[in-house]
Amino acid sequence: MTNLERYRKKYLEYLPEDGIRWLLIAESPPKQKAGSVPSFFYYDEDDVMKVALLFKETMTALFDPNWNDMRWLEKANIAESRRELLKRFSKRGFYLLDALEQKPLGGKTREALSDRGTKRKLKNKLKELAVEGYLSNVTQTVILGTTVHEELFRFLKDGLSYKNGKIRLNIRNTKPVPLPYGHQWRRCEDFRECLRSLPRTGELVEHAIEDFCLGFLESPYLCYTEHGLHAMFYHRLMDALPNKRKYMRVDGREICTVQKEYKMGNKVGKSRKAHWDIAVLEENQSADRENWYDLLGLNSVVEFGLNAQEGHLEDDVKRLSHGESGVQNRFIVHLYRYSKSITKRDWQNEHEAFISPEEIDAKIREHGSRVVAYFALVDDTDGSKQGPWRIDGKSAPSLVS
């Protein structure tokens, strides 16, 4: 199989099953030397030997892996790591497509991009993705790199405006997105900021929850208490948000959009007002009432439980489901640990009975299916793991990739 045949095969393997939410159009795969191991974005076979900068910065922006951790650099783990990240990339609805299948010889990239044959091939690829249902009106397109943007922006915007049930590309960036280059920190940071700003805030919160639960299954003892989970998730969420969404100004005062123990605006059926574990404030707020800092609108709330009893879950679901909660995106994260001799904070036997994903699902349905819950369990007594499960009270609980 030639490198070009491998390239085409791999790009088809990672098409998002539920459709492309964010389409990234790049220039071309790196130049391949004769007889060398391919290094294009989707190449994941066991002989892969390195991580290209575009791949590294894309995955850093979306998943924040610790690239200083030597396991990412060891040749034995690169292929496995790439496969895992590419699966998550696809599951989130991201897809990268090269305008050119091969790097042009002699540095003639601009000429190749402006060529009518190149545009015709790209148009046919996009039409095929649309016909097969991968592209839709919800797909957001980002053109990566100055040269690609300058040569293809007008063509992609006007030449591919299909109607009558066909796809119309929604291009997010009217200006070029600088590609990461070498060790130029600013270019890398601008590139990451662009990718982080694509999902809506509620989606970013849920993505951070999924990553947090996956991390719990790998390292369940990072936090001693539930409050430790709050602090660690707060840090992860701040890293996940684009810079422009981390802070806002209200009445001339700078305010962080992520708040710990933020006060509820209403009693939500309780005898007194309580506090949310983690709250994300809505953007563009105003100081139009007395004590406005206590009453800011909420985009998202995340309630946690560590080895929580049924009453804890019941309370979380009731408060978040209440019609006066004032929250757009409502999440619950319940994590469980079993062990015999590590700590008395762990449950010691299975008869202490965690609340199963099915039971959580039933509880959410009982209160109107307004909440999305995540469940994960680690049993140190036999080395088993369960989850993470996503539970929304609308469809059956599903495992997170």
Q: What residue type is assigned to position 73 of the chain? A: L
User: Do 280 and 248 belong together in one domain?
Assistant: yes
Domain ends where: 169, 196, 223? 196
Burial class (CB in 10 A: 0-12, 13-18, 19+), 82: buried
Residue 166: its pLDDT value, please? Answer: 57
- In angstroms, rounded to a whole number, what is the distance separating the alpha carbons of residues 12 and 14? 6
Q: Beta partners for 333?
A: 304, 374
Domain ends where: 168, 196, 224? 196
Cβ(208)–Cβ(229) under 8 Å?
no
Q: Beta partners for 170?
A: 140
Contacts 24+ apart (CB under 8 A), 104-110: 104/28, 109/27, 109/28, 109/147, 110/147, 110/150, 110/151
User: Do 207 and 188 belong together in one domain?
Assistant: no
User: Do 224 and 112 belong together in one domain?
Assistant: no
Query: Which backbone phi and psi does 58 adopt, to 5 degrees?
Result: -65, -50
- In angstroms, rounded to a whole number, what is the distance separating the alpha carbons of residues 127 and 43? 24
User: Do 158 and 276 belong together in one domain?
Assistant: no
Q: Is the peptide bond before 388 cis (omega within 30 degrees of 0)?
A: yes
Nearest alpha-carbon partner for 356 in 381, 325, 387, 330:
387
Q: Beta partners for 275?
A: 263
- In angstroms, rounded to a whole number, what is the distance separating the alpha carbons of residues 92 and 207? 8
Nearest alpha-carbon partner for 56 in 82, 24, 25, 91:
82
* CA-atom Rg of the chain in angstroms: 23
Nearest alpha-carbon partner for 48 in 10, 76, 18:
76
Torsion over CA of 285, 288, 294 and 300, rounded to 10 degrees?
Answer: -30
User: Do 246 and 217 belong together in one domain?
Assistant: yes
Place of tokens 């506090």: 275
The CATH number linked to 23 is 3.40.470
Burial class (CB in 10 A: 0-12, 13-18, 19+), 154: exposed
User: Do 108 and 207 belong together in one domain?
Assistant: no
Instruction: Work out the angle between the directed axes of helices 226-240 and 201-218 (0-180°, nearest 10).
Output: 130
Query: Can you list the residues of the chain whose pLDDT is less than 50?
Result: none
- For the stretch 156-190, pLDDT in tens is 887 665 555 556 788 888 888 888 876 677 788 88
Q: Range of 181's domain?
A: 3-196
User: Do 233 and 304 belong together in one domain?
Assistant: yes
User: Hey, what are 254's tokens?
Assistant: 């700078």
- DSSP characters for 95-138? EEEESSSSPPGGG-HHHHHH-HHHHHHHHHHHHHHHHTTS--TT
Instruction: Decide: helix, strand or coil at residue 264.
Output: coil
User: Do 228 and 192 belong together in one domain?
Assistant: no
Q: Total structural domains in the chain?
A: 2
Residue 270: its pLDDT value, please? Answer: 66
Domain ends where: 196, 213, 244? 196
Instruction: Decide: helix, strand or coil at residue 369.
Output: coil
User: Do 23 and 151 belong together in one domain?
Assistant: yes
User: Do 234 and 286 belong together in one domain?
Assistant: yes
User: Hey, what are 346's tokens?
Assistant: 């762990």
User: Do 189 and 218 belong together in one domain?
Assistant: no
User: Do 191 and 233 belong together in one domain?
Assistant: no
Residue 382: its pLDDT value, please? Answer: 87
